[in-house]
């Protein structure tokens, strides 16, 4: 395959990956934010999704939240407070209830500070 064909196939692959739904998480200001991104053109009628937070150790800390994404919106987010969360690798799965597809990500919590919940 020539270099030009490889570049074209690479660009096509990159273009496809940019339109696929995904979920990204970040820790900021004592909160864990997870955002589900989707291509707006795939959301003409609105979507129903669920965020599944899966704790590494304790099912009591798992959580499922349901969201409605309005038509032509491209994202929705959920968050949890960092203090008090179990240490280890957490998984967040977002399920598109309209077509039963899902995306998942993971992040590691290697220490939390419960001072946010302490009284003075």
Residue-by-residue DSSP string for the chain: --HHHHHHHHHHHHHHHHHS-EEEEEEETTEEEEEEE--GGG-SS-EEEEEEEE-SS-GGG-EEEEEEEPTT--EEEEEEESTTPPSEEEEEEEEETTTTEEEEEEEEE----GGGG---
Identify the pLDDT of residue 5: 37
Look at the domain 21-117 and name its fold.
Answer: Immunoglobulin-like (2.60.40)
pTM: 0.76
Domain boundaries along the sequence of the chain: 21-117
Identify the pLDDT of residue 20: 80
Question: pLDDT tens track of the chain, all 120 residues?
Answer: 444 333 333 333 333 344 589 999 999 999 999 999 999 988 999 999 999 999 999 888 999 999 999 999 999 999 999 998 999 999 999 999 999 999 999 999 987 555 444 444
């Amino acid at each position: 395959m020539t270099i030009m064909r490889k570049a074209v196939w690479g660009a096509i692959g990159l273009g496809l990956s940019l339109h696929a739904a995904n979920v990204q998480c970040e820790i900021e200001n004592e909160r864990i934010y997870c955002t589900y991104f989707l291509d707006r053109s795939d959301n003409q009628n609105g979507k129903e999704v669920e965020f599944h937070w899966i704790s590494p150790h304790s099912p009591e800390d798992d959580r499922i939240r349901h969201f409605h994404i309005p038509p032509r919106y491209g994202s929705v987010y959920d968050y949890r407070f960092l203090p008090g969360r179990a240490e280890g690798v957490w998984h967040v799965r977002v399920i598109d209830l309209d077509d039963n597809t899902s995306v998942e990500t993971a992040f590691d919590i290697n220490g939390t500070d419960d001072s946010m919940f302490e009284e003075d």
